[in-house]
Amino acid sequence: MSTPKIFDTIDVGTQTLKNRLAMAPMTRNRAHNEANAPTELHAEYYSQRASAGLILSEGSQISRQGMGYIDTAGIHSQEQIEGWKKVLEAVHQNEGVMYSQLWHVGRVSHTWFHDGEPPVSSTNKNANTQVFTPEGFQPTSTPRALSTEEVEAVVQDFRQAARNAIEAGFDGVQIHGANGYLVEQFLHDSINDRTDRYGGSVKNRARFLFEVLDAVIEEVGSDKTSLRLSPSNLMATENDSESKALYEYVIRKLNEEYELAFLELVEPLADLSDHPQLAENVLAYYGPFYDGVLMTNGNYDRIAAINVVEEGKADMVSFAREFLANPDLPKRFAQNAPLNEPDRDTFYGGDAEGYTDYPFLEEMEIKG
C-alpha cells in the first residue's frame, strides 16, 4: 500500500517541505513583556512542532497601530526581531521551515492599545465584536477611517515588517487577509464605505490588498510571499454583497499576475444558511480559479486531509488545534495514532501549561 501523498515532499517557494501538513497561525498571547517580543518559551513551542512541513507563525502585528490583543508577538521593533531570531534558530536546528504571518487587525481593536485614540480601519463603523485587553475581553472601540495617505503608509508598514521577518530568519511571510482584519475591512462592501481610490468598485476595494502584496514582494520576493484568505468569513464582518464575484476577481488576479509561494483558503466555520451569497465550500468553489500551490484549512481530520490532497483538490492542509495539542502531529497521522485533546482553558494567555507541555507520542508510549 502506497504512502498517502500528504506525507510526500513538496516545493513551496524557495523550500522543499518534508510533508504537506502545515501548522496554522494561532494567537496564543504568550508575549508577556513590554516589548511584545517572543521569548524562549516561544522558541520551545515552535521548535517542538518543527516536524510540520511548514509552520505559520501566530499573527504578528506589523506596527503598534496594527495591534488589538494583549501579549501578541509583533514584528516591527528590534527587540521583536531579536526575539524571533531565537525562535527561528531553534526551529531551524530541528530542520523546520517557518513563515511569519503579517497582521494588522484594523478596527478589531480597542483604545487601550492606542493611547486612548481610536483604532483605524477603512471606515468609522464599529466591528461590534470583542478583543482581549488587560481587563479581559472588551467590546471593540469605534474606529476612525484612515486617510488616503495613511493607507499608503500602512502598505509601507507591511513592507517593513516583511523585511524584518526575513532579517529575523523566517523562510517567508504570509499576509493575513482573513478573519475580518484590515484586509477584509477594505475588501468587503459591508464595511468599506470609502469614496477615494480604495472604495467603491471591486477593483478599488481590492486595491489595498494588491498594493500590500506588491510592496511585500518587492521587498522579499514572490517565492517567499503567501496570502491567507477566508472568502466565506463572517468573523467581525457581514462579508460582501457579491462575495463570490469579489473573491473570484481576487483569486483570478492572483493566478494570472502573481507567482506566490502558496495561497491558503480557509473554509467557513459559521452557519451560512442566511448568507446565500457566500460559498459553502470555499475550496470547491474557488480552487479551480488557482493553478499555484494551494493550501486548505478548516475542520479537517486525518482522513479528510489525506483525501483532499490525494484527490488533487489541494496541495497542503493546515491544522490549528491539532498541532496545538500534538507537537508531533505528522508522526501521529502517519501511524494513525491517538491524538491529545486540546485544553481550551489554556488557549490564550498563561505560560507553559497548555503550550509546551503536551506529550509527544514516545512519552505516552513510555508511560503506557
HSE-CB at 50 with a 13 A cutoff on CA atoms is: 17
Sign of CA dihedral 251, 256, 257, 261: positive
User: Which H or E element spans position 67?
Assistant: none
Distance CA 85, CA 282 (A): 35
DSSP three-state, residue 256: helix
Q: Which three cell numbers stand for residue 201?
A: 468598485
Distance CA 75, CA 58 (A): 11
Annotated catalytic residue 181: yes
Which residue is catalytic, options 45, 46, 69, 181? Answer: 181
Pick from 208, 87, 100, 206: nearest CA to 162: 100
**Three-state SS across 143-200?**
CEECCHHHHHHHHHHHHHHHHHHHHHCCCEEEEEECCCCHHHHHHCCCCCCCCCCCCC
What single letter denotes the amino acid at residue 156? Q
Distance CA 317, CA 323 (A): 12
Catalytic residues: 181
